[in-house]
Structure 1
Amino acid sequence: RRQAAEQFNKGSYAAAAATFRLIEARVSGGQKPLYHALADLADAYGCWDRFLYKPAWESLKTAVKALDMASIFGGPAGIKSLIPRLKENSGFLEKLVLDPAEIKAAVAPDLLANARRRAEQDRALDAALLTAVRALEAFAQVQLFKQHKIKAHDVQPDQLPPALKEVCRTSYLDDVDGKYKLPMVAQFRALAGLGDQMGQAYLAQWPQMKPLLDAASRSPLGHGFEPAVAERYHQLYALIVKVTGVTDAALPKFPTLEL
């Protein structure tokens, strides 16, 4: 059981689920539902970690119900204290999954939380850096859509501030689907031109931002061959917080299993 919890806490969700299922097969009848639920829990976070939000939510809902029951009937001591975090996470996923909007606001903080896990859990700095860049862009996309009804992946040049209209017409047409698509920097410039605080904050931080985006671009996961360093990721993370105003509390946190 401890081994499965350790696997979970290291982010090896598939391994944790397999270990819990192994225990489920070995224990007597009364304990089976507990380990079945813990396996579902590991599956849920494994899906979530790969952005498979719907199956994650469904597995998590099932697991929470069963673990809630287990805590009432005297399951492991750590279960009871785990439930509130699980319910909070389930609520986050529910909101995300049921959001009918094409551009889902909750994905932006989730991407940033994912970047943090890549850095802290996996020490995968290139993945962390690139995921953080994607999170930054997602915040811009959400802001453009929610506040200004602009879809960055299908923009009409006339929706943009005057300074960007012509650039959009001449430079941002996608050959593949014939839509105008704003790259990330243009998204923030559009926000700034529309008087949006997030866009203005981005432009104010641009001198600091530039080398960090360059580091992401030079990464093997970007367009280059230079592995990222931890410092670049941490600097970018701090700037994202500054530009977007996202708080730590807004980022979903995966639980730590103590069984």
Structure 2
Amino acid sequence: MSKAMLISVGGSISPIICSLNKHKPKFIIFFASKESEYQVSEIVKKISFSYQATEKIVTPSAEIMEESYFVLWQRLPSILERWKIRPSQIIVDYTGGTKSMSVAIVLATLDFCKKYSYIGGKERTKEGLGVVVDGKEKMLYVKNPWDKYAVSVRKKISLFFNECHYDSALREVEILKEKVSKQEESFYSMWYDLIKGYALWDKFRHTEAKRELYKGFRKLQIYAYNKRRYKKLLDCIDKNLKFLERIVDKKEIEMLIRDLIANAKRRAEIEKKFDDAVARLYRALEKIAENELFKIGINHSNVKDSQIPQNIRDKFIGKYKDEQDGKIKLPLYAKYELLKELGNQKGKDFFSQEKEIKKILDARNSSILAHGDISIKEERYKELLSLVLNFGKLQEKDLPVFPYLEM
């Protein structure tokens, strides 16, 4: 027994009765014209099963498709809501009624319906050109149109992903999962896991990202067996997972620095969000200093007095000691100053280029996302990117790259 059925009425009632008896829906919505409305009571008397409720939607004009579409669009959601039926649970039969009504009923339900039916037959009147002869009806099912239409939506999802709109891509996949047939759901579930993994990674939620990406990767390995077109994608995801492992499992700060820079490149070079990109590069520059301090046992957010050279100790305690918890917490310049005074090469390099660095960092501090009102230009972003890569002794090929998606 089906949950609910929306069926158009008009012309011979035998095919409509045949369809209803075949599906035996608990809830029935008749879509009729003013001229065919009287047939509903006759149909109800002749169906051979028990149902829970019926409702009628009557088009003001059976020949004007737009009016039929509008009345369905207006009435159908409230009926389904009252019956607590999800739109995807209904079967739509467009056998009866005018051609305009048939077009309207399909268009009005195309966004959510998974199953359509139509009554045909081996024998028709008028030498095969008329209506189906009573008693010769044959149930025909139309495959879920979303199984084919999804191809165009997949292009949209790929575009969203490749433009870094990961959450938008994720929403589209989630919607498709609800619309396609049962046998197609696993395909979209695989893409959902993969895209969710990258969406989480882009938000620096590395542990969750690794879990989701592994889940999708395993599904893709099975699906893509002997499919050469997926080899490049599989190789890229495999490489990405190995990178994530170094952040999540091995806690390698160097990998986190690379990830910050890669994230900045996505913001700037794909989304053209240079202020966002520079904020990440600034953080990467801080992380480089923090990593150098970590190597020699210094926690940048809780520096001990004894770890600070005598010649700058009083200054650091006076400027950077938190009055609430008593911890010495260092900002970017102070981190590099401490490194320089301790003889660290990174600290020396920082101050040997201080004039150039200050110009770029001042631009960051003037950014609307920092302390100012100025939008950062692409040139400044490129200067800071080059600076951070040089400081980290990195090349762009060392950075993780998300795959180019073609679903």
TM-score strictly above 0.5: yes
Partners of 1:73 and 1:16 lie apart in 2 by: 27
SS in 1 for 2:224: helix
Match 1:3 to one of 136, 156, 161: 156
SS in 1 for 2:325: coil
Q: 2:210 corresponds to which residue? A: 57
SS in 1 for 2:327: coil
Change (3 A) 1:114 1:100: closer
Change (3 A) 1:163 1:33: farther
- The answer to whether residue 261 in structure 2 is matched with residue 112 in structure 1 is yes
Give the deviation of 1:44 after TM superposition.
0.9
Give the deviation of 1:85 after TM superposition.
1.1
Give the deviation of 1:252 after TM superposition.
1.5
1:174-213 equivalence runs, <5 A: 174-213=322-361
Amino acid at match of 2:211: E
Unaligned 5+ runs, structure 1: none
Q: 1:251 corresponds to which residue? A: 399
Q: 2:201 corresponds to which residue? A: 48
Give the deviation of 1:73 after TM superposition.
5.7
Q: 2:290 corresponds to which residue? A: 141
Which structure would you say has the larger Rg?
2
Q: 2:93 corresponds to which residue? A: none
Higher helix share: 1
Q: 2:191 corresponds to which residue? A: 38
Highest RCO, 1 vs 2 (Cα 8 Å, sep ≥ 6): 1
TM-score by length of 1: 0.91
Partners of 1:33 and 1:73 lie apart in 2 by: 18
| More moved, 220-229 vs 22-31 | 22-31
Q: How far does the alpha carbon of each residue in 1:198-246 deviate from its partner, in whole angstroms, 9 at most, with x for none?
A: 2221112111000111111111111111111111111011111122212
| More moved, 245-254 vs 217-226 | 245-254
- The answer to whether residue 389 in structure 2 is matched with residue 236 in structure 1 is no
Give the deviation of 1:29 after TM superposition.
4.6
Q: Percent identity?
A: 32
1:122-137 equivalence runs, <5 A: 122-137=271-286
Partners of 1:100 and 1:117 lie apart in 2 by: 23
Q: Is the 8 A contact 1:5 1:257 kept in 2?
A: yes
Change (3 A) 1:108 1:176: farther
TM-score by length of 2: 0.59
Q: How far does the alpha carbon of each residue in 1:36-88 deviate from its partner, in whole angstroms, 9 at most, with x for none?
A: 111111111111111111111110010111111111064xx642210111111
Amino acid at match of 1:240: V
- The answer to whether residue 174 in structure 2 is matched with residue 21 in structure 1 is yes
Higher strand share: 2
Unaligned 5+ runs, structure 2: 1-153
Partners of 2:172 and 2:226 lie apart in 1 by: 23
Amino acid at match of 2:263: N
- The answer to whether residue 233 in structure 2 is matched with residue 85 in structure 1 is no
